Amino acid sequence: MFIINHMRLFSIFLSGMLFLLLSCKSEPGNTDKENAEKPLKNVVVPLFSSDSAYRFIERQVGLGPRIPNTKAHKQAGDFFVAQFTRYGAAVTVQEFSATTYDNQKLSLRNIIASYYPERSKRILLAAHWDTRPFSDKDEDKPRGYFDGANDGGSGVGILLEIARTLHSAQPPDVGVDIILFDGEDWGFDQATAETLYGKGVDYPLPKNLLSWWCLGSQHWSKNKHKPNYSAYFGILLDMVGGHNSVFVKEGYSMEYAPGIVNKVWSTASRLGFGNIFINKNEGSITDDHVFVNEFAKIPMINIISYDPELGFFGDFHHTRKDNMDLISKEKLHAVGTTLLHVIYQE
User: DSSP characters for 222-251?
Assistant: HS-SSTT---SEEEEEES--BTT-EEEE-H
Q: Which residues contact 13 (CB under 8 A, 6 or more apart)?
A: 6, 255
| DSSP assignments along 84-110, one per residue | HHHTT-EEEEEEEEEE-TT--EEEEEE
Check pLDDT > 50 for residue 42: yes
Q: What distance in Å separates the CA atoms of residue 29 and residue 306, rounded to the nearest whole number?
A: 25
pLDDT value of residue 9: 44
Rounded to 5 degrees, φ, ψ at 248 are -110, 175
Name the residue ranges covered by the structural domains of the chain: 10-36+43-344
Average pLDDT, the chain: 90
The amino acid at residue 288 is D
Question: Do the Cβ atoms of 184 and 1 come closer than 8 Å?
Answer: yes
Instruction: State how beta strands 122-128 and 233-238 pair.
Output: parallel
What whole-number distance in Å separates Cα of residue 305 and Cα of residue 278? 11
What is the reported pTM?
0.90
Indicate the DSSP class of residue 3.
Answer: B
CA–CA distances in Å: residue 20 to residues 15, 235, 258, 293, 346 = 9, 17, 10, 10, 21
Mean pLDDT of 52-58: 98
Q: How many CA atoms lie within 13 A of 74 on its CB side?
A: 5
> Amino acid letter at 145?
Y
C-alpha–C-alpha distance, residues 55 and 39, integer Å: 35
What confidence tens digit (pLDDT) does each residue in 279-326 have? 999 999 999 999 999 999 999 999 999 988 888 899 999 999 999 999
Residue 15: pLDDT over 90: no
Find the angle CA(237)-CA(241)-CA(247) to the nearest 5 degrees: 60
Tell me what pLDDT residue 2 has.
53
The residue type found at 259 is G
pLDDT tens figures, 82-123? 999 999 999 999 999 999 998 899 999 999 999 999 999 999
**Which of 179-193, 196-210, 229-243 has the least mean pLDDT?**
196-210
Q: What pLDDT score was predicted for residue 4?
A: 46
pLDDT cut 90: percent of the chain above it: 78
CATH of 10-36+43-344, one of 3.40.50.300, 3.40.630.10, 2.30.30.230, 3.30.565.10: 3.40.630.10
